[in-house]
Amino acid sequence: MFTEYQRDDHNVHLIIYHLVWIFKRSKPVLLDGIAAEIKSLIKHKCKERDWRFWIWLFSPTIFIWRCDPALYRRYKGVIVLVKTFKYRLYPSKPQAQLLEQTVETCRRWYNLCLEERKTAWESEQRSVSKYDQLAKVKMYRKENPFASQVHSHILQVVTADMDKAFQAFFRRVKAGEKAGYPRFKGNNRFDSFGLKEYGNGFKLDGRRLRLSGIGRVRVRWHRPLEGKIKTVRICRQAGEWYACFACEVQEKPLEPTGRDVGIDVGLYHLLATSENEVVDNPRWYREEQKKLRVIQRQVSRRKPGGSNRRKAVVALQCFHAHIANSRKDYLVNWPGT
């Protein structure tokens, strides 16, 4: 299918063709024979329309990677997706202190796991597995009075996160990329903890979220929760608390409209369609740079490590969150979506 539309005083010809998705495989989609046929077909169509190519680029090595099994499942013939729903939490002052204490306990356990792996390899050339560290969670909860107040699943999720960091490190080393060895987390670089089983450590209690060791936390339900709740992760962003529920939902395919529309996403314009529709790109960051510059100077002038410095950093985080929320609100509430 060939479509032509006008954008920035240039004629853009959009060529659309279908690719084959090979599930659970990482193979080239356009193979040699198919690539040659598509190339000859494009040349033939362009010759019919008297189109001239100044630069011809064609790459048959297009890959479609398999999706994460944790985000895409097929159960009894039904496609099940894992979708995340994020809600704002409004904890009381005692609950906020308990949340911060839980995050700090998780951060210390994360650093202990990282130190154990690092020391074991440097001194003995020995690798410590995830299951070796999971077995030590019970002993750590007995020895640490703060960890004893934290649900065991929270520390187990921290151990799994540490293992994921090392798996990503080994993958980058094997691929020849920049390695990026896992780092120790400072008190300003660890802002979340998770629970992995609904009903064991967390559950919904009316319109509130009951967390083990914290209590019933007030939730702002701005949209309905769908599907079956599997896990939850409590996050702290710009001084505010959020709950991210991972739910299993069934796939809802969209009804076919019988129309094909090409979309070109850019910087000068947010997008341009093949139906001559152009959407401007609001410069949220550029427009707020004047205010952002003042807040950033306030952070730079505060003494590092002081309470005023922490307050200024929170104010800067809140303003960045405001810019991100403005951009997100525009994309969500845009009439074309």
**pLDDT by residue (tens digit) across 216-250?**
999 999 999 999 999 999 999 999 999 999 999 98
| Full residue range of the structural domain in which residue 12 is found | 1-66
- Answer whether residue 90 is part of any domain: yes
Structure confidence at residue 252 as a pLDDT band (50, 70, 90): confident
Is residue 74 included in any domain, yes or no? no
My answer on whether 126 and 154 are in the same domain is: yes
What per-residue confidence (pLDDT) applies to 165? 95
Residue 217 and residue 125 share a domain:
yes
Instruction: Give domain status of residue 262, yes or no.
Output: no
**Does residue 289 sit in the same domain as residue 178?**
no
Phi then psi for residue 97, to 5 deg, are -65, -40
319 vs 259, more confident: 319
- Report the alpha-carbon distance of residue 31 to residue 83 in Å, rounded: 34
Task: Indicate if 127 and 46 belong to the same structural domain.
Answer: no
Query: Looking at the structure, do residues 60 and 121 belong to the same domain, yes or no?
Result: no
Strands 269-273 and 278-280: antiparallel
Same domain, yes or no, for 98 and 245?
yes
Last residue of a domain, one of 15, 33, 66: 66
* Same-domain check for residues 98 and 244: yes
* Together in a domain, 205 and 313: no
Regarding whether 201 and 116 lie in a shared domain, the answer is yes
Strand partners, 332: none
Supply the pLDDT for residue 63: 37
Cβ neighbors of 2 (< 8 A, separation 6 or more) are 13, 14, 15, 45, 49
Q: pLDDT tier at 254 (50, 70, 90 boundaries)?
A: confident
Whether residue 3 lies inside any domain: the answer is yes
**Same domain flag for 244 and 310:** no
Does some domain include residue 240?
yes
pLDDT at residue 323 tops 90: yes
CB atoms within 10 A of CB 211: 26
Nearest to 153 by CA among 70, 242, 233: 233
Mean pLDDT of the region 172-180:
91
Whether 162 is in a domain gets the answer: yes
Tokens of 119: 């020391």
Does residue 111 sit within a domain?
yes
pLDDT-derived band at 45 (thresholds 50, 70, 90) equals confident
Q: Look at residue 267 in the predicted model and tell me its pLDDT.
A: 82
Burial profile 128-155: b = 16 or more Cβ within 10 angstroms, e = fewer: bebeebbebbeebbeebeebeebbbbbb
pTM: 0.74
Do 133 and 242 fall within a single domain? yes
**Is the confidence at residue 46, as pLDDT, over 80?**
no
Which of 74 and 327 is assigned the larger pLDDT?
A: 327
For the chain, report the end-to-end CA distance as a whole number of angstroms.
24
Does residue 264 sit within a domain?
no
More confident residue, 225 or 56: 225
Query: What pLDDT, on a 0 to 100 scale, did the predictor assign at position 34?
Result: 64
Residue that wins the pLDDT comparison between 310 and 43: 310
Q: Of residues 330 and 36, which shows the higher confidence score?
A: 330
Model pLDDT, residue 51: 67
Residue 259 has pLDDT above 70, yes or no: yes
| Total count of domains within the chain | 3
Dmax (CA) for the chain in angstroms is 79
Same-domain check for residues 62 and 88:
no
